Structure 1
Amino acid sequence: MAVSSLSLSLPSTSLSERRRLLLLGAGALASTIIPVNSVLAEGTPANYDSFTDLSDGYSYIYPSDWREYDYRGHDSAFKDRYLQLQNVRVSFIPTDKSDIHDMGPINKVVPYLLKNVLATPTQVADIFDMQERTTDGKNYYTFEYTLTSKNFSRAAFTTIAVANGRYYTLIVGANERRWRRVRDKLKIVADSFKVLDI
């Protein structure tokens, strides 16, 4: 039910009092309709900000000194002010699956994604870690890897999930030379990714 479709019969009060009552009512309605983001409920760690997209159904946290930018083909993206290769981005595509497990087991899905989706034909992919988690009844795969080409190497975490008829992908990474220094900071971002019911 949309807030605009509510019809309220208010007693004879001043215009400002009616506005206040309508806003209180809309706030109460929104608090029962909009799912609570457990990242926000638990609090955002120091030096991180949260990003929540209620219309597209996902949330995550990112380092607070990063800035939003437009990354072609992605729904949201943030990057380090000085090191542009340190960034996080989220995209999604439609799917008829209802859970990430419908895609297959993690040990089959991750190598397939790296070979056929995330890496170019000239890159060599190395997987370092694969983890499954369940948060608020939703299942996620998170994996750590490097993509190496002749002149360049990038390390990243990717978290994938399925919800709302969509296949979501969050990628957070950096230049491989800096990976040891920023890995733990970026793992927090990868682990914070959540899909929300829309």
Structure 2
Amino acid sequence: MATLRSWVSSLPNQFAMQNSAVSSRSTVVPSSVIKASSGDLLMNEKDCLKRRLILVGVGAVTTSLFPARFASAEGVPKGYQAFVDFTDGYSYVYPSDWRDFDFRGHDSAFKDRFAALQHVRVSFIPTNKNDVHDLGPMEEVIFDLVKNVYAAPTQIPTIYDMQERTIDGKNYWTFEYDLASSGFSRTAFATIAIGNGRYYTLVVGANERRWSRLRDKLKVVADSFKILDI
């Protein structure tokens, strides 16, 4: 992955950070454990190079060590459902009233029953890296990811916050960002991690107008992502 120049700056956090919530479920598996998809991949670096950057308001980078809050199925927070994929080696929680759906190029996805833009999706690609730190400095990697992969040419990206947590020796980077275009804006959390020879990405977000009401709820989803050894 390409790295950025050193002009990435750190500004005061625009949002208060929360403790992470991680779920590991080994006894109950939802009915839809989706097999890996080998189609469209999230990281298309050739396309990324063609995209234009307009990035403002980069948030402060915060690194911390989080203990696993949810050690069993019984520890899944109220109002959430655990999704565990033992085949592809990952787990997370999602709001219990969301339903699963097919999201092209992704391994699993769940969305709100009435607001399709409120959804979580997970994808992964092969990698020879062993840890997210092998990608480069966190600020540069996330900055490049948002501007070159997540943002379309017509969108203005903003990064608000970056966090790191470490669970069972694996490092996870979670960041909050907004993609704005004319008359529309979508805000999301993304969590990236490396394990099992795979680069995993979880994205959970909503329409920017609903973000203030949903942010805490979706942060639980972002912080719950965990890699399982396979």
- Normalising by the smaller structure, the TM-score range is 0.7 to 0.9
Deviation at 1:152, TM superposition (A): 1.4
Matched, 1:80 2:89: no
In structure 1, stretches of 5+ residues that fail to align are 1-29, 32-36
Cα distance in 2, alignment partners of residues 131 and 98 from structure 1: 19
Within a 5 Å distance, the mapping from 1:61-100 to structure 2 comes to 61-100=93-132
Q: Deviations over 1:13-46 (max 9, x none)?
A: xxxxxxxxxxxxxxxxx99xxxxx9845161000
Matched, 1:141 2:199: no
Cα distance in 1, alignment partners of residues 69 and 105 from structure 2: 27
8 Å CA contact 1:39–1:60 kept in 2: the answer is no
2:162 corresponds, among 102, 106, 130, to 130
Deviation at 1:53, TM superposition (A): 0.3
* Greater relative CO (CA pairs within 8 A, separation 6+): 2
Query: Which amino acid is the alignment partner of residue 119 of structure 1?
Result: A
Within a 5 Å distance, the mapping from 1:1-198 to structure 2 comes to 39=70, 41=72, 43-198=75-230
8 Å CA contact 1:65–1:80 kept in 2: the answer is yes
Instruction: List, as ranges, runs of 4+ consecutive aligned residues in structure 1 with deviation greater than 2 Å.
Output: 37-40
In structure 2, stretches of 5+ residues that fail to align are 1-25, 28-67
Cα distance in 2, alignment partners of residues 38 and 126 from structure 1: 29
Query: Which amino acid is the alignment partner of residue 149 of structure 2?
Result: V
Cα distance in 2, alignment partners of residues 196 and 39 from structure 1: 14
Higher helix share: 1
How many residue pairs are counted as aligned between the two chains? 164
Which SS does the other structure have where 2:153 is aligned? Answer: coil
Cα distance in 1, alignment partners of residues 156 and 198 from structure 2: 28
Cα distance in 1, alignment partners of residues 71 and 111 from structure 2: 21
Scaled by the length of structure 1, what TM-score is found?
Answer: 0.80
Identical pairs, percent:
66
Larger radius of gyration: 1
Which SS does the other structure have where 1:101 is aligned? Answer: helix
Which SS does the other structure have where 1:116 is aligned? Answer: helix
Cα distance in 2, alignment partners of residues 148 and 85 from structure 1: 14
8 Å CA contact 1:40–1:50 kept in 2: the answer is no
Please, what is the CA RMSD of the aligned residues? 1.7
Q: 1:14 maps to what in 2?
A: none
8 Å CA contact 1:86–1:173 kept in 2: the answer is yes
Cα distance in 2, alignment partners of residues 39 and 173 from structure 1: 22
Scaled by the length of structure 2, what TM-score is found?
Answer: 0.69
